[in-house]
Structure formats: structure tokens, C-alpha cells
Amino acid sequence: MTQYSKRMVIVHWLTLILLVAAWFLGESVHDLRKSEEGATLAGYIAHALVGGAVLLLTVVRLLFRSKDGVPAPLGNTLMDKVAKGIHHLMYLVLFLLPVSGMMQVLTSDVSKALLAGDASLLPQKFTGVPAHEVHEVLVTVLIVLVGLHILGALKHQFITKDGLMERMMLRRK
Ligand code: HEM
Ligand code: HEM
């Protein structure tokens, strides 16, 4: 096996698209809450649905991974081990980030506002909601991990030129 299975490849790139959408929606809800207009219920629902889809895809992905397996590592250098460690940490954050988002809704007035269908009940601040800080920190951690991951992919593509990208492509060799 020299490439990831087709379904692993599809879920990898779909996760990237959903993460960009979740990040954009999360930032918009945050900015709206701080503005004079205030956040909307639709904004929170859209963000939660896209973020929830990331969690679902991650669970499905780990199932696919255990069934389909993964291609053998290209090498066994320290950098290869670091890359593998980053993959595992990304899986952990892909799981914990949406869960912290759900905890944030459940432990704040966002859930009250959603149940009542009344945007005026939405919180203006998340004081005393630890999941809010955890969610923010995990967003930053994910950005750093994905940044390093992309740098690694670029290094393989343009410096080592060892065809690593083809392992995550639909085109079969
Ligand atoms: C991987 C998926 C997710 C990503 C990438 C993500 C990203 C973000 C980002 C970038 C913010 C703004 C942070 C800030 O600057 O304060 C945010 C806020 C938030 N997220 Fe998520 N999120 C995800 C999943 C979820 C889920 C599943 C839920 C709930 C079910 C959720 C609920 C929230 C809430 C309630 C806020 C606070 C918005 C505010 O400040 O008013 N998130 N998220
Ligand atoms: C432009 C963006 C991206 C590029 C170019 C890229 C590229 C790649 C490549 C080439 C691999 C295969 C590595 C190998 O065979 O050793 C890979 C694996 C992986 N990528 Fe990405 N990726 C990107 C974005 C992301 C994002 C946003 C995530 C999730 C946060 C992610 C998570 C992963 C994980 C967890 C693996 C390991 C798969 C496994 O072994 O189960 N990637 N990526």
C-alpha cells in the first residue's frame, strides 16, 4: 500500500473545507456578539452544525483508518516521527475542539436561548464558562498544528520532491 484509501483521502480534504467554514463562522459569531448588532441564533446553529460535522467525520475517519490501514512511513528520521506525532495530535484536537464547543453551548446561556428560540437570551460574555477558553485555546493549537503540517507537506513537495502528496490524492498510481 503506497497511498491512503480513496475514502480516507475524501475525508481528509472534506475536513479541511469544513474546518475553514467552521473557523469563519466561529469568528463571525464572536465578532457579531461583540458588535452593536449582537449574535444571531442562526449564526450559532450554523457554526455548531459545521463544527459537529467535523466531529462526525473524525469518528468516521478513525473507523476507516482502522479498517483500511495507512501507507508505511516514507522514512524513520526524527522529522518523520515528529510528523506522525503531529498527525496524532491533530486527531486529538479534531475530537476535543467540537466537544469543547458543545460543552460551551451546554454550560452557558446559549443553550437557554436556543431552547427558547430567543436571541435576546444569548450571553454577552462567557464569564465563568471554562469551555469557552478551552475552545479558544484549542482553535489556536489546531492552527499551529495545521500550519506545521502544511509546512511539512510543502517541504516534501518542493524540497525533498519525494511524491508524498500523491499519498493523499484520489488519482491512483
Ligand atoms: C472543529 C470544529 C470547530 C471549529 C474549528 C470552531 C472554531 C471556532 C472559532 C474560531 C470560534 C471563535 C473563537 C473566538 O475568537 O472567540 C468559535 C467560537 C465558538 N464556537 Fe466553535 N468551533 C468548532 C466547533 C464548535 C461546535 C461543535 C460548537 C457547538 C456545538 C461550537 C460552539 C462555539 C461557540 C458557542 C463559540 C462562541 C462564539 C462567541 O464568542 O460568541 N464550536 N469556534
Ligand atoms: C493544504 C492543506 C493540507 C495539505 C497539503 C495536507 C497534506 C497531507 C498529506 C500529504 C498527508 C499524508 C502524509 C503521509 O503520508 O505521511 C496528510 C496526512 C494527514 N493530514 Fe493533511 N494536509 C492538509 C490539511 C490538513 C488538515 C486541515 C488536517 C486536519 C486538521 C489534516 C490532517 C491530517 C492527518 C491527521 C493526516 C494523517 C493521516 C493518517 O495517517 O491517518 N491535514 N496531509
In tens, the pLDDT along 41-99 reads 999 999 999 999 999 999 999 999 999 999 998 899 999 999 999 999 999 999 999 99
CA distances from 62 to 7, 31, 80, 87 (A): 11, 33, 21, 12
Rounded to a whole number of angstroms, the distance between the first and last alpha carbons of the chain is 11
Considering the entire predicted model, what is its pTM? 0.96
Structure confidence at residue 74 (pLDDT): 87
87 CA distance to ligand 2 middle (Å): 7
Domain segments of the chain as ranges: 6-168
Question: With 90 as the cut, is the pLDDT of residue 1 above it?
Answer: no
> Is the shortest distance between the CB of 15 and ligand 2 below 6 Å?
yes
CA of 31 to the centre of ligand 1 (A): 12
Per the CB < 8 A criterion, the answer to whether 58 and 66 are in contact is no
Taking CA atoms, 96 is separated from 40, 103, 121, 134, 141, in Å, by 25, 10, 27, 9, 11
